[in-house]
């Protein structure tokens, strides 16, 4: 985002976590409430990023390992004659998906709880900030009118 910009900027999805990073704008006259909001959002972003990057990486890795082990069991190589990467069909992959999901269920439950809490908190703070700003604006207008 340009240096003079006064708003937040959101970027393309991160290649590991698929989440879009946000660069938050900290205005010079930022109130304590606004700072709390920004920090909460930054923290949530960081936490989400960590979780999903690690999770997706683990998924890809385990998927590779699974494909490799299955192909070996079938007596095939990772790449066939034409140099194409050998893949398993959907039915064979289904075992892996089932396994992966059940292994990670607890992790997801924990993350869900975390995410919901963060999401509510951030939205609530947003509401507070918006309210404060609206009141400020109204007060300013009243002052201008007088």
In the shown chain, the binding pattern of residues 104 to 143 toward another protein, with x for contact by CB under 8 A and - for none, equals xx-xxx-xx--xx--x--xx--xx--x-------------
Question: Is residue 10 at the binding interface for another protein, with CB under 8 A as the rule?
Answer: yes
| Contacts of 42 by beta carbon, 8 Å cutoff, 6+ apart | 24
Determine the longest span between alpha carbons in the chain, in angstroms: 86
Least distance (Å) between residue 69 CB and another protein: 17
144 touching another protein, by CB under 8 A: no
Q: Rounded CA gap, 12 and 2, in Å?
A: 16
CB 37 within 8 A of CB 129: yes
Window of 16-24, 27-35, 72-80, 135-143 that interacts with another protein by CB under 8 A: 16-24
Dist. CA 26–CA 29, nearest whole Å: 8
Alpha-carbon distance of 69 to 118, in angstroms, equals 39
Kindly list the residues in this chain that would bind another protein in the complex (CB under 8 A): 1-5, 7-24, 42, 45-46, 48-49, 52-53, 55-56, 59, 90-91, 93-94, 96-98, 100-102, 104-105, 107-109, 111-112, 115-116, 119, 122-123, 126-127, 130
């Amino acid at each position: 985002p340009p240096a003079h910009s006064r708003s937040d900027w959101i970027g393309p999805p991160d290649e590991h976590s698929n989440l879009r990073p946000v660069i938050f704008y900290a205005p010079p006259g930022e109130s304590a409430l606004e700072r709390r909001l920004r920090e909460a959002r930054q923290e949530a972003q960081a936490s989400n990023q960590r979780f999903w990057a690690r999770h997706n990486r683990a998924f890809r890795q385990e998927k590779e390992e699974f494909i490799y082990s299955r192909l070996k069991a079938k007596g095939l190589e990772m790449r066939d004659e034409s140099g194409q990467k050998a893949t398993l069909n959907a039915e064979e992959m289904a075992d892996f998906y089932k396994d992966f999901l059940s292994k990670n269920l607890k992790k997801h439950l924990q993350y869900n709880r975390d995410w919901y809490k963060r999401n509510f908190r951030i939205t609530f703070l947003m509401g507070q900030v918006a309210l404060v700003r609206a009141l400020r604006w109204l007060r300013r207008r009243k002052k201008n009118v007088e």
